[in-house]
């Protein structure tokens, strides 16, 4: 069981705004930055959001990240069918000296 | 362009050993930490371990500590994962990934990932 908690699934209609939450604790999200990864079906993970809210070059502006206390969120505005994927949050944990991944959230575009 | 390519995956019997490699190119390998992440079939991402740019620091997940060893050869731009005493639950796709910032180790920010190499542990 992951120490970072994400909903197993979310869904939305094209054009809608959807959010994915990631809940942790003081030793991980509360102390370190959160990064988000997108994994398209059959592909390797890809860095989507880094340092809580920064977008790597090439990531569309409809993806945004935020963090407050021991929780973080990924928001997708103007959902597109190509956004159907698994999304993972990640953070370093100071107590475990380890990287923690959330359990992953499967996004479905209805 | 930056590339990391894993190799060495195979079908092995429980209790046996296997070494994975990750060949890096397109960046100054000796300046960046590297990590291994695995994904069991149909499951989520599981962090395996991380190694600093100079191989001085290494951290492992509890599930592999004492059985797996991460190393690197900066002269060959190659990362390794030595896996001993393999178990059925080690069956997974194994990815290597590059730490985004040079000289950083305490991070979950990995900007380039390989396509993975498949390890199956079965009798």
Number of helical H runs and strand E runs in chain A: 0, 9
The pLDDT > 70 percentage for chain A reads 98
Mean pLDDT of A7-25: 97
- Give me the pLDDT at residue B77, please: 98
Chain A residue with minimal CA distance to B57? Answer: A97
Q: What is the pLDDT of residue A52?
A: 97
**Nearest-angstrom CA–CA distance, B34 and B17:** 22
Report the chain B residue with the minimal C-alpha distance to residue A42. B115
Give the per-residue pLDDT at A83. Answer: 97
So what's the pLDDT on residue A2? 61
pLDDT above 90 (res A45): yes
pLDDT, average across residues A63-77: 98
What average pLDDT is seen over chain A?
Answer: 96
The mean pLDDT values, 10 residues at a time, for chain B of 123 residues are 97 98 98 98 97 97 97 98 98 98 92 98 96
Does pLDDT of A27 surpass 90?
yes
pLDDT for the residue A3: 82
For residues B83 and A35, what is the distance between their CA atoms, to the nearest angstrom?
A: 28
A99 and B50 within 8 Å at the Cβ level: the answer is yes
B42 touches chain A (CB under 8 A): no
Token pair 């945004």 in the structure block, residue = A64
Q: Check A44 against B35: CB less than 8 A apart.
A: no
């Amino acid at each position: 069981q992951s120490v970072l908690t994400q909903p197993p699934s979310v869904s939305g209609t094209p054009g809608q705004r959807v959010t994915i939450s990631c809940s942790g604790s003081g030793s991980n999200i509360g102390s370190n930055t959160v990064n988000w990864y997108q994994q398209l079906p059959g592909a390797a993970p890809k860095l989507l959001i880094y340092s809580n809210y920064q977008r790597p070059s090439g990531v569309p502006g409809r993806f945004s990240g935020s963090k407050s206390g021991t929780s973080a969120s990924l928001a997708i505005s103007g959902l597109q069918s190509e956004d159907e994927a698994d999304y993972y949050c990640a953070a370093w944990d100071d107590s475990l000296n380890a990287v923690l991944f959330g359990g992953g959230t499967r996004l479905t575009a209805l | 362009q930056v590339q990391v390519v894993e190799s060495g995956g195979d079908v092995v019997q429980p209790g046996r050993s296997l070494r994975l490699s990750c060949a890096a190119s397109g960046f100054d390998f000796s300046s960046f930490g590297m990590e291994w992440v695995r994904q069991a079939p149909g499951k989520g991402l599981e962090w395996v371990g991380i190694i600093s740019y100079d191989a001085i620091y290494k951290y492992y997940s509890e599930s592999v500590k004492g059985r797996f060893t991460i190393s690197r050869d900066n002269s060959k731009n190659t990362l390794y994962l030595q896996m001993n005493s393999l178990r059925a639950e080690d069956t997974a796709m194994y990815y290597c990934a590059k730490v985004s910032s040079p000289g950083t180790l305490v991070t979950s920010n990995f900007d380039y990932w390989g396509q993975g190499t498949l390890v199956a542990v079965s009798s």
